[in-house]
Structure 1
Amino acid sequence: MSQTMVTEQNQGLKVKVKNITIGSILEGVVISKKKGELFVDLSPFGTGRLYGIFFKECEDLAKKVNVGDKVGVKVVGLNDGYGNLEIVLQDTFQINRWQKILEYQRNKTVLELEIKEANRGGWIIELEGIQGFIPVSQLSPEYYPRVSNNDKEAILEHLKKFVGQKIKCVVWLADPQKNKLVLSEKLTKAEIYQKVLESLQVGQILDVKVVGISSFGVFVRFHTNPDMDGLIHIMEIPPELANDLQKNFPLGKILKAKIIQIKQDRVNFSLKDLRPDPWLMVKEFYREGSQVQGLVKEKNNIFGVAEISVGEYGSIQGYVFEGVEKLEVNKSYNFLIETLNPKEKHLVLKPIDA
Structure 2
Amino acid sequence: MTKTTDPQNPMQELLKLTPVFKVPALGALIEGAIVEIVKNRIVVDLGGNLTGVVAGKEIHDEKKTALDLKIGDKIKAVVIMEENEDGLVVLSLRKAAQLNSWDNALKMFEESVTFQVKILEANKGGLLTEAGGLKAFIPVSQLSPVHYPRVEGGNLNRILGKLNAIVGKLLTVKVIGLDAENRKLVLSEKEALSEERDQTLSGLKVGQKVKGTISSIVSYGVFVAFNGLEGLVHISEIAWGHVSDPRQYAKIGDEVEVLIIGLDGGKISLSMKQLRPDPWVEIAQKYKLGDVVESKITRLTPFGVFVQMEGDINGLVHLSEISHKIVRDPADFVKVGQIIKTKIINLDLEEHRIGLSIKALIPNPKEQVTEEPKKPETEKPKENKTEEPEDKTTKEQINTGAEKQSTEEKEAKTKKTPKKTVAKKKTEEPKDEGTKEQKVKKKEPKAKKITKKEK
TM over 0.5: no
Task: Please report the TM-score for the alignment, with normalisation by the length of structure 2.
Answer: 0.32
Larger radius of gyration: 2
Task: Please report the TM-score for the alignment, with normalisation by the length of structure 1.
Answer: 0.40
Which structure ranks higher in relative contact order (CA pairs < 8 Å, sequence separation ≥ 6)? Answer: 1
